[in-house]
Chain A
Amino acid sequence: MSRAKKYRILFTSCLYISAFTFGGGFVIIPLMRKRFVENLKWLEEKEMMDLAAIAQSSPGAIAVNAAILTGYKIGGVAGAMLAMLATVLPPMIIIGIISFFYVAFRENVVVNAVLKGMQAGVAAVICDVVIRMGTGVCKEKNVLFVLIMAAAFVLTFFLDVNVVYIILGCIALSVIVFFVKMGIRKKKANTSDKICIEEQERKDRATEEGAEKNPVEGSARADREGSGEEQEEEK
């Protein structure tokens, strides 16, 4: 396949997927999987899973991040920028059109009543998301996670601490946890860095094998393993 044709298919695919991803978020992953893994076979199944994980854990919109990652794999930095542009254009154009009519739209009595009803609907949708994500966090049975959740809520809701500081605080905490884990690993290996790295590689491989059999369980197991180590350190 020629380079130009590849870029064209990448661009139109991303444009199309983005135009039909309502509500944003993780919805885009299954659509991209269908197109790039099943139809075009440009990505492997496991690669797509990893890309989804990176897209979710990086700053910014998941859809945009996933497009950048896919584009990068297919066409390097140029491919990444092309995929990003294709993903951003449809929502930008649609919202652009809507926002020009917004003021006239808002003053309409019927529209006003509908939007007022929808406000309660939005609150309900967010409430549902929070319940689902919150029970997910609690199910991991990790005291640290529950504490983080409670602390973050008190800080932002009652004490009005800026969201940015809370996220920066969490990133700082994860750096500390990372070094603590490294320290423990070193103690366990009890010798040089080389063994430490080998052990890490072995661990990664084991996790990967587990992930292939059962992706969700695999990563959950890795998390649990990690949290076990943290608790050891706390003692």
Chain B
Amino acid sequence: MIYLELLWVFIQVGLFSIGGGYAAIPIIQSHVVEAKGWLTMTDFTDLITIAEMTPGPIAINSATFVGIQVAGIAGGIVATIGCIIPSAIIVSLLAFLYFRFRSLSFVKDTLAILRPAIVALIASAGIGILIFSFWGEDGFTTDVTALNIVSVIIFFSAVFVLRKFKTNPIFVMLGSGVLGAVFYLLL
């Protein structure tokens, strides 16, 4: 049943996206795009774009979006509930333990070990998106003519602006959108 499938996939997304925000991206990609094929890579990058530009965590935004695309409003609600079930249980328990014992050392140690791995996972997902944006659906090739020059230009100018001026990502993405419109429609 599609609802149970949605629920189960997003329970996993909620359970394994530790560190918040971008940490959810590799897990959503591996489950929703690669394993289930509910979204194409185009839909997936659109989804992250939309999630970046609207309020709320990426995991919640993705759950609602994927749920509605796959099984309508009910699907959206089921997927979102799935996504927050692990938080509701585990974090309530931690809240109880914290206000009772105020000890965090194990949680801190676990975080310290998870952080480097999560950086690597995000990097891996990011490279996937980068390859998709430079070469399209077919993936990486050494053929220079297959390279999307516009994407390359936008990517490097966006990285430069982000690193140099520490601009808010929302403005960088809006800027990228404007550049995209100018290059693709006018040139």
Give the B-binding residues of A (Cβ under 8 A). Answer: 18-26, 50-51, 53-65, 68-69, 72-73, 77, 80-81, 84, 88, 90-92, 94-96, 98-100, 102, 106, 109-110, 112-131, 133-134, 137, 144-146, 148-153, 156-157, 162-164, 166-167, 169-171, 173-174, 177-178, 181, 200, 204, 219, 222-223, 226
Q: Which 6 A-B pairs have the closest CB atoms?
A: A117-B180, A91-B56, A121-B176, A25-B21, A61-B57, A62-B20
Contact of B95 among A68, A112, A121, A164 (CB under 8 A): A68
| Minimal beta-carbon separation of B12 from chain A (angstroms) | 7
Complex Cα gap A18–B61 (Å) = 12
Complex Cα gap A231–B166 (Å) = 36
Q: Is B84 an interface residue (CB 8 A)?
A: yes
Q: Determine the main DSSP class of B at the interface with A.
A: helix
- A58-B90, A106-B46 given; 19 more Cβ-contact pairs under 8 Å: A22-B170, A23-B52, A23-B169, A60-B15, A65-B87, A69-B98, A95-B60, A96-B73, A112-B184, A118-B177, A124-B162, A125-B158, A130-B122, A133-B118, A133-B122, A137-B116, A151-B120, A156-B120, A170-B117
Q: Which residues on A sit within 8 Å (CB–CB) of B88?
A: 68, 80-81, 84
Please report the total number of B residues contacting A with Cβ < 8 Å: 106
Give the nearest-CB partner of A125 in chain B.
B169
Q: Which residues on B sit within 8 Å (CB–CB) of A84?
A: 84, 87-88
Contact of A77 among B24, B92, B180, B183 (CB under 8 A): B92
Given that A118-B173, A222-B108 are known contacts, is A91 also in contact with B163, CB under 8 Å in the complex? no
Given that A60-B59, A123-B133, A124-B158 are known contacts, is A72 also in contact with B110, CB under 8 Å in the complex? no
Complex Cα gap A121–B108 (Å) = 33
Given that A19-B55, A100-B68, A122-B52 are known contacts, is A110 also in contact with B185, CB under 8 Å in the complex? yes
User: In chain B between 115 and 145, which residues have their CB closer than 8 angstroms to a CB of chain A?
Assistant: 115-127, 129-130, 132-133
Give the nearest-CB partner of A223 in chain B.
B112
Contact of A64 among B60, B95, B177 (CB under 8 A): B60
| Minimal beta-carbon separation of B179 from chain A (angstroms) | 5
Interface pair B57/A153, CB less than 8 Å apart: no
Give the A-binding residues of B (Cβ under 8 A). Answer: 12, 14-22, 24-27, 30, 45-46, 48-61, 64-65, 68-69, 73, 76-77, 80, 83-84, 86-88, 90-92, 94-96, 98-99, 102-127, 129-130, 132-133, 150-152, 154-156, 158-159, 162-163, 169-170, 172-173, 175-181, 183-185
| Number of cross-chain contacts by CB at 8 Å | 381
Interface pair B163/A131, CB less than 8 Å apart: yes
Interface pair B121/A99, CB less than 8 Å apart: no
Q: Which residues on B sit within 8 Å (CB–CB) of A163?
A: 16, 26-27, 30, 121
Interface pair B103/A204, CB less than 8 Å apart: yes
A-B contacts, 16 of them at CB < 8 A, read: A22-B170, A58-B87, A59-B14, A59-B90, A60-B17, A61-B17, A92-B56, A120-B155, A121-B158, A122-B176, A123-B129, A152-B120, A152-B121, A156-B26, A163-B121, A164-B27
Interface pair A114/B20, CB less than 8 Å apart: no
Q: Which residues on A sit within 8 Å (CB–CB) of B116?
A: 137, 145-146, 148-149, 152
Interface pair A174/B113, CB less than 8 Å apart: yes
Interface pair B106/A178, CB less than 8 Å apart: yes
Interface pair A120/B55, CB less than 8 Å apart: no
